[in-house]
Structure 1
Amino acid sequence: MHIPTLYLDTSVIGGYHDTEWMADTRELWAQRAGGLWVFLSSGLVAQEISDAPPEVRQTFEETFDRAKDLLPITGEIEDLALEYLKAGVVSTKFEDDARHVAICTVHRVDHLVSWNFKHLVNVRRAAGFNAVNLLQGYAPVSIINPKELIYASHDDQDL
């Protein structure tokens, strides 16, 4: 059975300690412990959290094995991220968000998981990323927030 892969961006790592997002983020970790998900990330996220509070950096280090869980950034990823920028999906000010999407697309991760509703978990942006993906010969990418995952995994006993 395929266990879905989740690419966690910086906002989800930080959400583990943020009172607004903590309960849902920690439930995602609990479901991972129960075998529902495989967590992945990247060196880009490691760079982004390098100035984060110590508990966020610790959560990252405890969650990811740098040798097997951090996806590399390749020239192909940089090229695809540039295509997102050229298409105006996000501005160059947010090029790291384009890189996160490109990492997931090129490495065929099942879902990019984020609490960033402005630049990632956003219907308009997702349509833009996926339009570029299709034009460049890639499959669409799934960009979702943790709530969509944790509630999707519950049994349908409430129906």
Structure 2
Amino acid sequence: MFRYVETSVISYYTARPSRDIVTAARQTLTQEWWEDARQRFDLYVSVLVVEEAKAGGAEAAQRRLAAISGLPILEINDAAEELGKRLMDEGAIPSTRAEDALHISLATVHGMDFLLTWNFRHINNAEMKARIRTVIEAVGYECPVICSPEELGGIEP
């Protein structure tokens, strides 16, 4: 099964430990999941993930880029751009969040089974996921399962 890894997962994996208890827990879970997932699953990123990983401080960007080194990179194509625009035009994703719409459309048009993200505001929340699925299925695609690494699981206790 193919798993598209959105930039927030990479950021949680490579970031310095947070003082916020929830964020710190997510970072730890992501680090444990990543070490297991790299070996067991087909993980993919996109050109967009690479570009977002380059942003910010040089040291942090270097850690993010090192983490995704060697993963297959999905290209942005016309179908992904069209679906991303449609997600925004139909209100599934706010028009101010074009990158989030593009992450979803990239995972969709490239046939990913899962889209992994810690973005609960614009991608992985119950109300938005229902709208996202409706738009995607209306144009004939199968919507990937949108979830966090924690929701996906796969770590043995």
* Interval of TM-score (by shorter of Structure 1 and Structure 2): 0.7 to 0.9
TM-score w.r.t. the length of structure 1 is: 0.84
Amino acid paired to 2:44: L
| Superposition pairs of residues 1-159 of structure 1, within 5 angstroms | 4-16=1-13, 17=15, 18-19=17-18, 20=23, 21-33=26-38, 35-65=39-69, 69-150=72-153, 152-154=154-156
Q: List per-residue Cα deviations over 1:95-147 (Å, max 9, x = no partner).
A: 11000000000001111111110001111111111101111000122110011
Cα distance in 2 for residues equivalent to 1:140 and 1:56: 32
Cα distance in 2 for residues equivalent to 1:8 and 1:53: 21
Provide the secondary structure at the position in 2 that maps to 1:79.
helix
Number of aligned residues: 149
Cα distance in 1 for residues equivalent to 2:115 and 2:91: 20
**Identity of counterpart residues, as a percentage?**
28
Amino acid paired to 2:30: T
Identify if the C-alpha distance between structure 1 residues 9 and 43 changes in structure 2 by more than 3 Å, giving closer, same or farther: same
Q: CA deviation at 1:85?
A: 0.8
**Which aligned runs of 4 or more in structure 1 are off by greater than 4 angstroms?**
none
Provide the secondary structure at the position in 2 that maps to 1:7.
strand
Provide the secondary structure at the position in 1 that maps to 2:40.
coil
Query: CA RMSD of the aligned region, Å?
Result: 1.8
Cα distance in 1 for residues equivalent to 2:53 and 2:148: 19
| Structure 2, unpaired ranges of 5+ | none
